Structure 1
């Protein structure tokens, strides 16, 4: 049976005239054949990114935007090589064919047509670039941060960044270590945390969802620290667009977000006093979700974030949110040392040549950072007590509603009650007295409920589990809202009937 089927198949194949595609001739001379020939010849040196409308060229260390029109030069180089190819052929007809092809391509229009068609053969999507989050490209090779080992540059990795520093596992950085010791007062745990945070920032991994806030008065070393790290990671590091992380009246232009593409470290400096974080944006930029952006005159595109946020500031930006989602991201690093000019006569003295000294140790600092990356992979960021306490203090300082409750309310009796209107008036008066901007009544009420105080409606809105302390000022004309010092019980206030809890006595 199987032999009959095979015979029938053979007969059918013989009966059908199936046209075979012609063999590819690189010297055919058509626009399409020229484009295929060009793409095949320079596949290892050129790629085209349709989203950015840019050619990428291999530089021997990494792929880079073709800002010097190397693609056009390679097209011209191919034309010259065609004449050489023609000379190698013994058949006169073939030599003439190739020479005519080369001669035709010397015209600008045919040359540009070839380049235009070649784009589709050499196209690459941005999502195919820099895909290995654990490779760090250096001047003399690529470091695999999973092992700390150096390997040769490879075009197949499609890396578009390169450090201006060679990697050496034997390089030293004595001045850098001394600098860190001075800046952090010899606190080895804090220095170890900074090393792990920098090592984490070498990678494209964002699993920590962290933002590092370096805080302290001026002349304390935080700017020098970030300057050296930016010098070290040039190509992988970027200065953020001004005020990118801070709340603004209008939405930021998406080009500010496009600048983050492919970066490992993004630095922002010196937020002004009284400014607020754009908390939704901070969460988004540290969350690992796709970021939608575009550059000028480009279409929108999406990318997976690889950056870590570092902010150096003399003033702590405001954080209105009290939820875990924002505060688990923030690591406040205190810079408590101050360095003085020689003329002041104070110590420790500022070294005006320090930055240049540290730049001379970049290979050693790179080794230190790679060691930090390996340490982070073993133990995580593991913030020391000084960072945990500084961050907790920052959170307490930013929790205005929490401060009001702590100073003006008692929350130790679950049966205590307070009228919503009175609580808000007391809060507004406290804000005015302390120079704080009060929340709206709706948002204030939400924050009270978020803290677990039960909202009860009984002729008016009340909150259970909290009461105003005697003497708290609030209401029209600065009236004092006196609530009984004696704990209020549910039965004594008829909470389950049509009567509201015992109201406060209004005193003028």
Structure 2
């Protein structure tokens, strides 16, 4: 059940008596007034996933940029800090008491106005009864008028006349802001206590829940306001300082939306603003003076210190592609990827070249003349400049020694393949499957996680999926094992793991639901993580490039062509499914070798394929689901749209399949699949049938390679089967006969020959295909 955060907040706020808040105030060193303005509450009991907790928790509302409460952070009396179950992180600030959330004076549209002649009244501006517009909420005493005659005194001209504001509340720009007005800059800090400390000093304050969290909300909330971001001196043993990193990240976000933005670290001996206020005798006047002296207000770098490609490349990347203190574009094997919504998306070189041209045209280089004078010269932008800078960019932003997914920027974490990226966070699969609290399973999105795949919807543990379940039952309800198999495979498709080396082949009647299932899988993984595949693409020079960064590739209505490179197609399929390294070719770029793809293959056809799988490699990798029920004439054309709406729920269903898959360490095998696989393998492997009909095992038997191969070729011609080479035939024979059958060099009638020890042709085959018994042949 979804949590109503607003109602909980109101309930808990009523529990926080002034005396209780005073005790917390004394403990934290901030005022009761500031804590009450932040609307702290008290939860005597909080029910977590493992059960109710009775120790008592302070609740701190966290809000989005609109002032809406999106989550409650909890603080125990022992200073343990967690999030309320089911809530999200937001910003910590006091909402302007004069702000009416969601109120807007007017929205453009005819529904907000009435004409004077329609209500038989005069225009209060021109005094005429014909054609002017009055605010519809109270036309007798309108807040605003659009007069068709009088321009003087109007706020602006509209398509219908001149807009006059008769009452202050009738002007949309007069609405009170979410944050109160102030001549002082808004102070941006980390955490509730520092926000309260800034408020004690008389500043409007906004607290971030962590050093780089909620930057998008912060940007929207602070747009147009003066701001100062104050960091923390929280140096770690490894030399990092998250408080400073968060300050820099917030500054880089806000400098583009705030008319004035400063970043500031407290004095070295002060950990944070609260410590500074309480131990450093800080006042608002002293802080303003400190900001004016030490606050950094970086402007855009227009003059570079030298013309080295490394210097230019680094500044370009910092100006154009840096966020949260990190580059948002990275180069892997000379291909560019940009961080967007939790994943790194492929970018063509031109997508970075054009911004580089535009950026460089406004930049100059500082250099020293022969006489020792300092000169400033514009960058000369030509092809050589672009090429040199791009090579330097590749080195500056390179990912070396890794394939996606992986951790970058010096960050380490759990196995990257054990995460599924949703639009609201990264789900750690093992933690979720063992039932950990959601806050421990779903971690924030970060550019430190280099992945090419991300699902386009949020993770929602309460989502439902009734239409999908109904379809599954109607299509495959005849065999529960089929349902278990597709559930397991869909869970497998959500991950970057390909270690099980399996592909799914859907066969069955026309209108049986194969395309609907493919559509459900596309919805599950998202459009950007899916590729449509055919034999031509599979065997083309650039076909592998379409599969990079995908989770699923589907081949619909599969048919083998009468002519074509079917052997090459089979080899490519086996390479992908078997986790073999592949070479990715892109136009006008060097080939990328030794790449591992993360996509799973799903093929649909009415009949099973006629591949010559002599080695049995395809058989070992096939999962077969037969759709036996036809819905021709009874199709539900709305299913695809219904599935899109149920994507978060379908993901939960697939994750349960993944749980089963990992517990049993292999896919469920329906009996229908077992039978289909054996029949298919026999039909597609003439060597198996030939051995069953024409060969018998005999420990003393000796059968020359050339004689057995000659018999097979005649048998294959007689049965309309395709032949194969001697080498592949020998491999197939040894795979389909007992392990004591050997291929050796021996002497027969004085000749050295290659022969099978332990095999002989049956009498009828000997007579039929070789003409006479072996002991009568020369």
TM-score by length of 1: 0.70
2:752 is the alignment partner of 1:466: no
**Once the 2 structures are TM-superposed, how far is the Cα of residue 297 of structure 1 from its aligned partner?**
0.7
Deviations 1:404-423 (A, max 9, x none): 232345x2654466676665
Pick closer, same or farther for the CA change 1:39–1:360 going to 2, 3 Å: closer
Deviates more, 1:204-213 or 1:306-315: 306-315
> CA–CA distance in 2 between the matches of 1:118 and 1:445?
53
Pairing partner for 1:331 from 615, 618, 623: 623
Q: In structure 2, how many angstroms separate the alpha carbons of the residues matched to 1:454 and 1:129? A: 44
Are residues 1:378 and 2:669 paired? Answer: no
> Is contact 1:203–1:264 with CA below 8 Å preserved after alignment?
yes
Tell me: CA distance 1:350–1:123, structure 2 relative to 1, closer, same or farther (3 Å). same
Distance 1:34 1:467, change over 3 A: closer
* Matching residue within 99, 120, 140 for 2:424: 140
Deviation of 1:267 after TM superposition, in Å, equals 1.7
Number of residues of Structure 1 aligned to a counterpart in Structure 2:
428
Match of 2:586 in 1: 295
Query: What is the match of residue 159 of structure 1?
Result: 451
Say which one has the larger Rg. 2
- More deviation, 267-276/418-427: 418-427
2:542 aligns with: 255
User: Relative to 1, partners in 2 of residues 1:442 and 1:173: Cα closer, same or farther, differing over 3 Å?
Assistant: same
Residue in structure 1 matched with residue 322 of structure 2 by the alignment: 43
How far residue 372 of structure 1 moved from its aligned partner, in angstroms, is: 2.2
CA change 1:315–1:47 in 2 (3 A) is same
Q: Residues 386-439 of structure 1, C-alpha deviation per residue, up to 9 Å, x if partnerless?
A: 223322222222221221232345x26544666766655554444334322233
Matched, 1:434 2:719: yes
Give how far 1:298 is off: 0.8
Instruction: Give the conservation status (yes or no) of the 8 Å contact 2:501–2:577.
Output: yes
Q: Could you tell me which residue of structure 2 aligns to residue 310 of structure 1? A: 602
2: distance between equivalents of 1:277 and 1:230? 28
- Change beyond 3 A, Cα 1:442–1:152: closer
Q: Residue 331 of structure 2 contacts residue 394 of structure 2 at CA under 8 Å; is this kept in 1?
A: no
Shift in alpha-carbon separation, 1:154–1:472, aligned structure 2, 3 A: same
Specify the SS of the correspondent of 2:575: helix
* Structure 2: segments with no counterpart, 5+ residues: 1-298, 365-374, 407-415, 433-440
Compared with structure 1, are the counterparts of its residues 223 and 457 closer, same or farther at alpha carbon in structure 2 (3 Å cutoff)? farther
Q: CA deviation at 1:318?
A: 3.1
**Structure-2 separation of matches of 1:81 and 1:437:** 67
Uncovered stretches (5+) of structure 1, i.e. residues with no partner = 1-24, 83-99, 246-251, 342-348, 484-499
CA distance in 1, matches of 2:592, 2:451: 19
CA gap of 1:306–1:63, structure 2 versus 1, over 3 A, is: closer
Residue 489 of structure 2 aligns with which residue?
Answer: 197
What residue in structure 1 maps to residue 683 of structure 2? 397
Higher strand share: 2
Q: Report how far residue 376 of structure 1 moved.
A: 2.1
1:496 counterpart residue number: none
- Find the counterpart in structure 1 of residue 345 from structure 2: 64
> Matches of 1:129 and 1:447 in 2, distance apart?
37
The match for 2:555 is: 268
CA shift, 1:81, in A, is 13
Once the two structures are superposed, residues 178-197 of structure 1 have per-residue CA deviations (whole angstroms, 9 ceiling, x without a partner) of 22222223322221121111
Contact 2:613 2:681 in 1 (8 A): no
| 1:285 counterpart = 2:576 | yes
TM superposition shift of 1:474: 3.6
| Distance of 1:172 and 1:195 partners within structure 2 | 16
- TM-score normalised according to structure 2 size: 0.48
Measured against aligned partners, the alpha-carbon deviations of 1:278-329 in whole angstroms (never above 9, x if no partner) come to 4433332223232222211111113222222222122322343443544322
